[in-house]
Structure 1
């Protein structure tokens, strides 16, 4: 009997179930998943605590895509544990400090926890923040020629499911990355080779990029965070490859070529 077939249906609450990682975690879990979001059948809204209790009731594990406010996560974790949840898997981010308040919320929960710290997502190029620029053929970022080991979100989802459903991951913080560090010009050239459409890359000032994000509706906090992370890439501080995928899954992470072959660009 497989691990997933032994799990009760509807027993793993997946927050952010319509997002890039959440919907893939949901698909991998199958009947064991209870997908939740503002638009899912199981409604969950960080801004509406009245939705939390019904969403978590009867579940034993939660895949946590956190809100912007760590105080909300603290309140939710307390409620989840009181409701009988015994395992939490948090989607964090590369470079999060050990005293990160979001991570502290799950680490101090009193139940089993696992923290995932992935790099930037490859799917950002066709599903999220970078997609409009790729489509328009004009890509402007404050990242220079710095390199970064982008990760395929499929790998994140598989690691998350392992931590949600198998023993041996309690108390672990996994740094997750792709297998190779590439620059934005390199990645855009590979995308262009697949699509046949050129994408021009420009290195711009950080303040200009932050203003662009604000104009797109991003909050000041998120706009500044994204800009800061790109500045780290420019400075060469984000080039290192992590081994978390291999540790958990026993294989190398997917390459950028693997991603392109299964993306909307193919």
Structure 2
């Protein structure tokens, strides 16, 4: 087994599948794993970890909701020869206070900080693709998105930029011990975002601000558990405090080009027919 394999955990997810494709294009040997992959991986089942880690020198980690297993996984990874990890985290993780979201992110970051691995943390703003690959899509297709954010702007970041940074971190030197904060080039409100999607797609879509409690209830009606719904609603409350509204130039600095705009994402996604007219 090659000792230069890059393990991608969560390879069927939004970032994982994009990181996998980019690494393959770079000629890297990649092992993409998920619960349904040929080599299955489940954070909650340590019996699946050894086969996934076998021969891996680096790993891309999207941490689990239940953060406990990541400490044990990091220990296991070190013991079998993994040397480098890139951890996906949330923007300004140390500013989220004692929210469930903040506690989970900081616990994952502490786990890699405490290791002897060459670690890099990639903190990301909310993805632009949340409007086309997440719970925000269905309301848009119905013609109205109702959510808590008001007039505080969010510097949505394109997942493709996040994946490009992660692939670079895993394949080039100089990123050890670094924490990168990834944003788009400017902040826009949710109302502005919906307006851009409506214009590019030709659909009639409106945005309506509702309370966090109302939003959590709507998420449970879409099939999320109450705990999941409350965590997401809590995140929007913290966003409204302006904790992650500022932009950074980390994408530009790392990739040597400007971060994609929200308009770039909207045009590309509308052309793909994700929001059919």
TM-score using structure 2 length: 0.88
What CA RMSD, in Å, does the superposition of the two structures yield over aligned residues?
Answer: 1.8
What is the distance in 1 between the residues matched to 2:207 and 2:271?
A: 18
What is the distance in 2 between the residues matched to 1:169 and 1:93?
A: 18
1:189 aligned to 2:195?
Answer: yes
SS at match of 2:258: coil
Distance 1:109 1:9, change over 3 A: closer
Conservation of the 8 A alpha-carbon contact between 1:9 and 1:32: no
1:265: how far off?
5.0
Partner residue in 1 for 2:98: none
1:9: how far off?
8.8
**5+ long unaligned stretches in structure 1:** 1-7
Conservation of the 8 A alpha-carbon contact between 1:143 and 1:233: yes
1:10: how far off?
6.9
**5+ long unaligned stretches in structure 2:** 96-102, 273-277
Q: 2:9 aligns with which of 6, 11, 15?
A: 15
1:42: how far off?
2.2
Distance 1:131 1:261, change over 3 A: same
What is the distance in 1 between the residues matched to 2:195 and 2:151?
A: 13
What is the distance in 2 between the residues matched to 1:237 and 1:140?
A: 21
Q: Which deviates further from its counterpart, 242-251 or 17-26?
A: 242-251
What is the distance in 1 between the residues matched to 2:225 and 2:70?
A: 19
Distance 1:221 1:212, change over 3 A: same
Q: 1:47 aligns with which of 44, 48, 65?
A: 44
Conservation of the 8 A alpha-carbon contact between 2:4 and 2:57: no
TM-score using structure 1 length: 0.92
Partner residue in 2 for 1:163: 169
Q: Which deviates further from its counterpart, 101-110 or 221-230?
A: 221-230
1:128 aligned to 2:125?
Answer: no
Partner residue in 2 for 1:239: 245
Q: 1:63 aligns with which of 48, 60, 64?
A: 60
The number of residues matched between the two structures is 259
Q: Which deviates further from its counterpart, 239-248 or 105-114?
A: 239-248
What is the distance in 1 between the residues matched to 2:69 and 2:224?
A: 20
